[in-house]
Structure 1
Amino acid sequence: MAMGGLPSGGRGRRSRRAPMAEINVTPLVDVMLVLLIIFMVTAPLLVTGVPVNLPDSRAGALDQNQKPLQISLDNEGRIFLDDDEVSESELAERLAAAAPKEGEDPEKAPRVFLRADRGLDYGRVMRVMGELNRAGLNRVALVSTDEGKPR
């Protein structure tokens, strides 16, 4: 009976909920898994689409601040500008369009990455480099793989 007569003030404090100090990590894990799946699906799409067996080299990577123009020659000698296959005559036209116009700063010309299959004829590569030179694109980098890294 003595318990029943006590004011409810003492009992009310105990029944109030204490702040929850735990973090529910399940939504965080769900979001991270979805992001992981998205990156796993899109990462292979970011790689250049033309398969080329590059030669080895000890040269280091280049610093790059603008998107380069990529020219690839596969093992059959086909020419690709970025991911589009072009003929030699089309290549000359497209390179002329990408080259800086007369009176423009030649430093604003796009850098060209030339990727050629290691088994390809040297003359074929030189013809493409001649077209680059004729178009006024003289900032050419020859792409290779690192000699020390396994393929």
Structure 2
Amino acid sequence: MRLRDPRYFKQPSFMIIPMIDVMFFLLVFFMMTSLSMVDLRTMGVQLPFASQAEQQPAAQYVVTLRRDGSLWLDDAPIDKETLLASAREQQQKDSRFNVVVRADKGMNYGDVMALLDDFKRVGVVQLGLAAESGAEP
């Protein structure tokens, strides 16, 4: 029985490039899936549920009214007078200007209505309230 000449044996090689490709793919995959699991609206507000909630066009101002009574405009704290003055200017520039209020479900109903009345007082006519769609768990 004749054995092969050892000079013609191909030496095994360790190919690292495909392994790097796979590792980068896994890294990107887990980064993307973890982003989809995180609520991108980072404000600590629990919105009430509404079974008939509808998707509305994008609001120009998203005002968040937190449980502690603080006001936030697009994820930045703001005082009421500055907010109302800015809303008045925007309403005068654009008649289609709209505001969506994201009020925590633990907020006093009177405080939410007072904020809506303040917006109406400065001339904002297109107001909306944000809610989670679906039945309350």
Q: Fold conserved (TM > 0.5)?
A: yes
| RMSD (CA atoms) | 2.9
Q: Residue in 1 aligned with 2:63?
A: 71
SS in 2 for 1:148: coil
Q: Which whole-Å deviations, capped at 9, do the CAs of 1:40-99 have from their partners, x for residues lacking one?
A: 5655777222211221211233143x4542111111111111111112212212212332
Alignment pair present for 1:53 and 2:46:
yes
TM-score (norm 2): 0.68
Structure 2 counterpart of 1:122, from 109, 120, 127: 109
SS in 1 for 2:62: strand
Alignment partners' CA distance in 2, 1:35 and 1:55: 35
Alignment partners' CA distance in 1, 2:56 and 2:114: 27
Could you tell me which runs of 5 or more consecutive residues in structure 1 were left unpaired when the two chains were aligned: 1-23
Structure 1 counterpart of 2:32, from 28, 39, 43: 39
Q: Which of structures 1 and 2 has the bigger CA Rg? A: 1
RCO comparison, higher one (Cα < 8 Å, 6+): 2
Q: Residue in 2 aligned with 1:98?
A: 90
**Compared with structure 1, are the counterparts of its residues 129 and 48 closer, same or farther at alpha carbon in structure 2 (3 Å cutoff)?**
same
Amino acid at match of 1:61: E
Paired residue total: 121
TM-score (norm 1): 0.63
Alignment partners' CA distance in 2, 1:132 and 1:95: 8
Q: Residue in 1 aligned with 2:73?
A: 81
SS in 2 for 1:99: helix
- Percent same amino acid among aligned pairs? 21
> Which segments of structure 1 move beyond 4 Å, counting only runs of 4 or more?
24-28, 40-46
Could you tell me which runs of 5 or more consecutive residues in structure 2 were left unpaired when the two chains were aligned: 1-16
Q: Residues 8-19 of structure 1 correspond to what in structure 2 (within 5 A)?
A: none
